[in-house]
Amino acid sequence: MWTRRTVLRQTGAAAVLATTAPWWLVRRAHAARQHKLVVWNPSALAPQVDKIMEEQFHAFLKQAGVKENEVDYTVMGTAQLLPKLVASLEAGSPPDLVRRGSGDVQRYRAQGHLLEVTDLVDKMQKTAGGLFQASLNSTTHQGKIYGVPQSISPWPLVTNMSILDKAKVEPPKTWDEFIDVCKKLQQPPKLTGFGPCLGLHSDADNNIMNMIWSHGGKLVEADNKTVVLHSKGTIAGVQMLADMYTKHKIIPKGATGWDNTGNNKAYQSKQVIFVLNPTSIYAHLADSDKELYDATRLLPIPAGPAGAFEEMSTAEWLLFKHNPNPELAKGLVEYWMAPEQYRVTIEEGDGRWGPVYKNMYESDFWKRPAFQHWRGMLDRGRDFPAPGIMNAAAGEVIATSVMSRMIQRVLVESWEVEKAVEEAHQKAVTIYARHQDA
């Protein structure tokens, strides 16, 4: 059985991807800087995962011959990290390494900030059945790779089955059924049916896109340049989400002010029955609320007129330029992503992330009842700009909250849905036009 303690006792070359002596051992004088390695790791929103990763970080330092006072390792919330990262890039002093998603690889690659990591990802491709194509799509540009795949996760309907079971109600298979179930089971204001993030944050963009897809809308065509957001499908999807909030009242009023932790907290405090989210919620419950952890199921997304489509998000390790010791930062990523360490992070971390290695889904961990639909969702999952692929333009659409500003226009400022969609469409057109050569 893989345990954190078992893996952290391993220190030789067997603990990393390479079969020869680690090439990243520190053997040379370093450029003058207070720290040899600066790592900003956003909180996993599951404390046990943050602990595992920090333990592995210190094990790596020991193996690499780096002293604790020679590094700066910081775990911080996303709300804190993003403005700090932007400021550091403007000042020309970013961290050496950060974990990000939401298209940031392509966005920062287009701005010239990232190191190429094709060699490291090629090694990973030869390990444990290879990597999922979606992770490669998110990191590759013109045959070169600029981010190291860290995780890949579908966005299921996170469901408190204890409430449905007590009422003898089956999980909804369509959005119309979903609305009916929420109205039947909720007990406002203590318990509301649905808790999507509707603030100006990336979770909102992803939740909104799920609704748009199920009604036949999309952001861009497969050519990655023709923006088609303004459509009957998009209007219908946004209208249904607006109706959930204003007409059916199955969404808490405060959801328009939530950040990416708001939906997590609402579910974990039993204020909502359903949310759309990756597994950070489920993993956090492993230590915080075992009863709700056991009652939680990760169910397929309800279907709309065009079908049911789960969002599939990826996260990557970004290695920035201006780094005096790039081999050290690459070595840390290689250590973290070595199957021996990575399996511990994934499985002892209670599935906070889905693994990027295909063969890791063969373990007993992924046969738990909570994950019975996971692989099916992974196989049919869509990236945010589907049928296009993640590029610098899609990354900027997310970073500038185009989709969430659209829903805020409707819910907060009382705009007509089509007017809000038209505005969002024009913003996306401008962004995609600017990035055609990026």
Beta bridge partners of 220: 227
Distance, in Å, from the CA atom of 185 to the CA atom of 172, rounded to the nearest integer, reads: 12
Q: Give the CATH number of domain 157-309+400-434.
A: 3.40.190.10
Q: Residue 364: what pLDDT? A: 93
Tokens 């009382």: give the residue: 414
Q: What is the mean pLDDT of residues 258-264?
A: 91
∠ Cα 246 312 264 (to 5°): 50
Q: Residue 430: what pLDDT? A: 97
Q: What is the mean pLDDT of residues 32-51?
A: 89
* Closest to 319 measured CA to CA, from 80, 438, 150, 123: 150
H/E stretch holding 238 reads helix 232-246
Q: What is the mean pLDDT of residues 69-92?
A: 90
Cα torsion through 224, 230, 233, 239, rounded to 10: 130
Does the structure show a pLDDT above 50 at 5? no
Q: Residue 33: what pLDDT? A: 59
Does the structure show a pLDDT above 80 at 9? no
Class of the CATH-defined domain 4-154+313-371: alpha beta
Task: Tell me the backbone φ, ψ of residue 409, rounded to 5 degrees.
Answer: -55, -40
List, as one string, the DSSP characters of 289-336: -HHHHHHEEEEPPPBBTTB---BEEEEEEEEBSS-S-HHHHHHHHHHH
Could you tell me which residues come within 8 angstroms of residue 437 by beta carbon, excluding any fewer than 6 positions away? none
Q: Residue 265: what pLDDT? A: 95
Residue 326: alpha-carbon gap to chain centroid? 25
Does the structure show a pLDDT above 60 at 15? no
Q: What is the mean pLDDT of residues 218-236?
A: 97
* Model confidence, pTM: 0.86
H/E stretch holding 75 reads strand 71-76
Asked whether the bond before 172 is cis by omega within 30 degrees of 0, the reply is no
List, as one string, the DSSP characters of 375-408: HHHHHH-B-TTTTS---HHHHHHHHTTHHHHHHH
Q: Count the alpha carbons within 13 Å of 190 in the hemisphere toward its beta carbon.
A: 2
Could you tell me which residues come within 8 angstroms of residue 29 by beta carbon, excluding any fewer than 6 positions away? none
pLDDT, tens digit, 9 for 90 and up, residues 186-218: 999 999 999 999 999 889 999 999 999 999 999
Q: Residue 22: what pLDDT? A: 53
Q: What is the mean pLDDT of residues 114-139?
A: 92
Mean pLDDT of all residues belonging to the chain: 90
Which sequence spans correspond to the domains of the chain? 4-154+313-371, 157-309+400-434
Q: Do domains 4-154+313-371 and 157-309+400-434 have the same CATH topology?
A: yes
Tokens 């009957």: give the residue: 232
